[in-house]
Amino acid sequence: MDKSSTLEYINQMFPTEASLSGVEPLMQKIKSEINHVDSGILAAVRQQSNSGTKAKEDLAAATRAVEELMYKIREIKSKAEQSETMVQEICRDIKKLDFAKKHVTTTITALHRLTMLVSAVEQLQVMASKRQYKEAAAQLEAVNQLCSHFEAYRDIPKITELREKFKNIKQILKSHVFSDFSSLGTGKETEETNLLRQLSDACLVVDSLEPSVREELVNNFCSRELTSYEQIFEGAELAKLDKTERRYAWIKRRIRTNEEIWKIFPPSWHVPYRLCIQFCKKTRKQLEEILDNMKEKPDVGTLLMALQRTLEFEDELAEKFGGGTRSREIGNEIEEIGTGQGSSQSISDIRKKYEKKLAAHQDSGTEEHDRNKDLSVPGAGFNFRGIISSCFEPHLIIYIELEEKTLMENLEKLVQEETWDIEEGSQNNVLSSSMQLFLIIKRSLKRCSALTKNQTLFNLFKVFQRILKAYATKLFARLPRGGTGLVAAATGMDGQIKTSDRDERVICYIVNSAEYCHKTSGELAESISKIIDSQLADGVDMSEVQDEFSAVITRALVTLVHGLETKFDAEMAAMTRVLWGTLESVGDQSEYVNGINMILTSSIPVLGSLLSPIYFQFFLDKLASSLGPRFYANIFKCKHISETGAQQMLLDTQAVKTILLEIPALGRQTSGAASYSKFVSREMSKAEALLKVILSPVDSVADTYRALLPEGTPMEFQRILELKGLKKADQQSILDDLNKHGPGITQPSVVPSVVPAAPAAPIAPAIPSPASVGLIGSREDVLARAAALGRGAATTGFKRFLALTEAAKDRKDGPFRKLFNA
């Protein structure tokens, strides 16, 4: 304990004078504890001293024990070496005798086997000369086994002589067997009853010979069987495409007729399988020559009939012998087109797809190794499907041309019969021609996929692309167009689009049909990519077609907006005919506002019920971006606007703004109402700002213009002065004042909210000029000018104006917003 803690301990133990009486007992207690600790230390030191001495004694004892053990081990090792020497001396003679016995046994065994080999070769020679095939087969096996024991004695003359003799005997057996099999199929098997049994025994001999002998025999037999086929179908009468079915009938009849006779061949030889392979190769070669040597294009019906019969024959062979797989899910893939199920794959489907690709990639490395498996056993790598039918592939272009012609005729018929209306109770509001067109395409795809899945199917896919693009053009042509010609240009109607209520419904149907075609064409491409050969799957893409239908949708919606704009022409003209300069008081909203409301009330509910939410939102954005600037520009078309007239126009502007804001609810689609409302407020705030400038006093109109319309131009400001009724002489001094202070605050032009077709590019905010900053700084002056805008107005109009001023607070940018934030 340090000094301070010691003092604290003493003060704690003896806090008062009275407690000092306990010092003596405490001292006695401490001394007793010290003595106890000293005794313990002394005992521990003594014990440690004794332990060290004992440890030394134990170590010395262990060292002595190890030395005794090492001595005993050396003694044992010496005795073991002596014993080993003694045993070797005893067994030296026995080992020599053992080697001698082993060599004698080997010699006796070799001589015995040599005797057996000589005897077996002589017996085999006799059997071969007498054509005793059954006995010779067993003897061949025995000789082969005996010869295997003499592989190490190949250089001995006697062994070499026997091997040459055995080789000659096998050659004789081979020639006898081939000679006997040459009579098979000539009719001798019916005359000589023992011939079939003899040939069956000969097969046993062939199995005992080299594998190449069996291959040669089977190939010779198949070639001899197909000789008559080549002679029959190379003639002028049957070497025609329409006789293709008779080729397959010939081989099936041949197999059925000789089924009993061919049972002489062992099942492991797979003679019918090998015969069918050679038949398919010869048939393909002959059909290629027929198709290439045709002077004119073959008849489509004949070509397709021959291909169909070929495919059926290949399916029969594949089912009979195995090998090759044909997808049984093609019909399901095609049926999913237009149902919306094609794009929703389960995890297991995706996993199977990529496992299949991986397996195909791994199998490509072993293709060379498996190339010869087509002549071994059924299903071991040879694929009957496509072995003959693939020769038709280069000549199916006429079939594709016929399909394209048929599809185009059906398209023209569908468009001609289209009523451009929807039956009552329809759920999707899609034109019947769209659904019928895809039904026809699905039937065409089924027909082609049943014939081929290679280049021809890819060519048909290209045809589908052209047909769908043509249909998109038909939909585009059906949209209402503006007036053309001299009369339209003279009346100012050139380019204007007039739409009736039925036209608006038709446009909505076109939008829905184009959307349906956009989606279904993607499903069609996905289904074809699953069916077609994997090497062509990457080229199956409908993006161009989908772009065509997207363009139709965009054009249709823009046409819809232009049609409504044309309906607004009369109301806009009525707005300019109002005598705003002589208006005495502010009342209810004007008649042209009621007309705008009536137009929207009659059209919007129908459009909202027919269009999907995303396209209805697109339409609303386009409508607001068109009507807002047009209303702003229409104010400049008026003649003279008095203060009361400006107040009334402010009231009308607020009414139009309210009407536009109620459109989503009117169309019963409010999913994007928030962004649309913000967009409408920004667009209409320009017209409100313009009217506030017109309401401002003459002496402060320039400052108000710079504050509220910083993006305005001098020409626009001069027109405002004309609307206020100022003469040319009075305008000059105000214009000079505007030019003296320089341009107003520049700010980004208002861009519409998100539009699906063309998102707006970002615009960098402009830096305020020094003059504009000074303008903002004079907050009291601008507020005074803004308060003076309502001077002299009627009570109702002034309240409406105050409401409009409060609405301006919703703006997020511009100098006017900064005044409210100050």
User: In the predicted model, what is the mean pLDDT of the chain?
Assistant: 76
The least confident of 83-87, 145-149, 492-496, 558-562 is 492-496
| Residue 747 confidence class, pLDDT cut points 50, 70, 90 | very low
Between residues 350 and 678, the one the model is more confident about: 678
> Which of 489-503, 543-557, 666-680 shows the highest mean pLDDT?
543-557
Over residues 781-800, the mean pLDDT reads 37
Best CA proximity match to 610, nearest among 472, 491, 510: 510
Q: Which tens digits make up the pLDDT trace of 594-636?
A: 998 898 888 888 888 888 888 888 888 888 888 888 888 888 8
Nearest to 742 by CA among 720, 778, 769: 769
Highest mean pLDDT among 17-26, 271-280, 763-772: 271-280
Q: What is the mean pLDDT of residues 315-321?
A: 83
For the residues 285-308, what does the mean pLDDT come to? 81
* pLDDT tens figures, 757-777: 433 333 233 323 333 333 333
Tell me the helices (H) and strands (E) count for the chain, helix number first.
Answer: 31, 0
With pLDDT > 70 as the criterion, what percentage of the chain qualifies?
78
pLDDT in tens, 159-202: 888 888 888 888 888 888 888 877 776 666 555 567 778 888 88
Per-residue confidence band for 25, with pLDDT thresholds at 50, 70 and 90: confident
Nearest CA-CA partner of 158 in 107, 117, 129, 217: 117
- Cross-strand bridge partners of residue 494: 483
The 3-state secondary structure of 364-426 reads: HCCCCCCHHHHHCCCCCCCCCCCCCHHHHHHHCHHHHHHHHHHHHHHHHHHHHHCCCCCCCCC
Cα R_g (the chain), whole angstroms: 54
When pLDDT is averaged across residues 205-216 and rounded to a whole number, the result is 84
Pick 644 or 195 by higher pLDDT: 644
Distances (CA, A) of 136 to 45, 116, 128, 179, 184: 105, 15, 7, 17, 21
Angle made by CA atoms 456, 459, 460, in degrees to the nearest 5: 90
Which one has a higher pLDDT value, 28 or 821?
28
> Which whole-number Å values give the CA distances from 270 to 177, 187, 273, 665, 698, in the listed order?
19, 23, 5, 78, 110
3-state secondary structure of 494: strand
pLDDT digits (tens, 9 = 90+) for 242-270: 778 888 888 888 888 888 778 888 888 88
pLDDT value, residue 820:
38
Predicted confidence at residue 336, as pLDDT, reads 57
Q: Where are the alpha helices (DSSP H) in 182-270?
A: 188-191, 194-208, 211-233, 244-257
Residue 432 has pLDDT above 70, yes or no: yes
Distance set, CA 610 to CA 139, 474, 509, 596 (Å): 91, 21, 8, 21
- Count other C-beta atoms under 10 Å from residue 814's C-beta: 20
User: pLDDT over 90 for what percent of the chain?
Assistant: 11
Supply the pLDDT for residue 373. Answer: 44
Residues near 538 by Cβ (< 8 Å), separated by ≥ 6? none
Residue 469 has pLDDT above 90, yes or no: yes
What band does 463 get if pLDDT is binned at 50, 70 and 90? very high
The lowest-confidence range among 114-123, 506-515, 526-535, 807-816 is: 807-816
pLDDT digits (tens, 9 = 90+) for 26-59: 888 889 999 999 999 998 888 887 787 788 888 8
Residues paired with residue 483 on neighbouring β-strands, in sequence order: 494
pTM of the model: 0.63
Residue 461 has pLDDT above 80, yes or no: yes
- How high is the pLDDT of residue 438? 92
pLDDT number for residue 779: 38
- In single-letter form, the type of residue at position 392 comes to F
In this predicted structure, the answer to whether residue 343 has a pLDDT above a threshold of 60 is no
- pLDDT reading at 780 higher than 50: no
- The structure tokens 């520049």 sit at 746
Residue-level length of the chain: 822
Q: At CB < 8 A and 24+ separation, what contacts does 396-401 make?
A: 396/303, 396/307, 396/451, 396/452, 396/456, 396/459, 397/456, 397/459, 398/297, 398/298, 398/300, 398/303, 399/300, 399/303, 399/304, 399/448, 399/451, 399/456, 400/456, 400/459, 400/460, 400/463
Whether the pLDDT of residue 328 is over 60: the answer is: no
Burial of 138 by CB count in 10 Å (0-12 exposed, 13-18 middle, 19+ buried)?
Answer: middle
pLDDT at 408: 92
| Residue range 690-724, pLDDT digits in tens | 888 888 888 788 888 888 888 878 888 888 888 88
Distance of alpha carbon 621 from alpha carbon 629, whole angstroms: 13
**Confidence at 354, pLDDT banded by 50, 70, 90:** very low
815/747 Cα distance (integer angstroms):
9
What is the tens place of the pLDDT at every residue in 490-520?
A: 434 445 788 888 888 899 999 999 999 999 9
Closest CA to 119 of 83, 165, 179, 171: 165
Checking 116-121 for CB contacts under 8 A at 24+ apart, the result is: 116/146, 117/143, 117/146, 117/147, 117/150, 117/162, 118/162, 120/146, 121/162, 121/165, 121/166, 121/169
80: confidence class by pLDDT, cuts 50, 70, 90: very high
- Which pLDDT belongs to residue 546? 92
Instruction: Assess contact for 793 and 643: CB atoms under 8 A.
Output: yes
**pLDDT at residue number 758:** 35
CB atoms within 10 A of CB 384: 25
Rounded distance between C-alpha atoms, residue 696 and residue 70, angstroms = 125
> pLDDT band at 390, cuts 50/70/90?
confident
Cα(183)–Cα(178) distance, integer angstroms: 9
At residue 323 the predicted structure's pLDDT band, cuts being 50, 70 and 90, is low
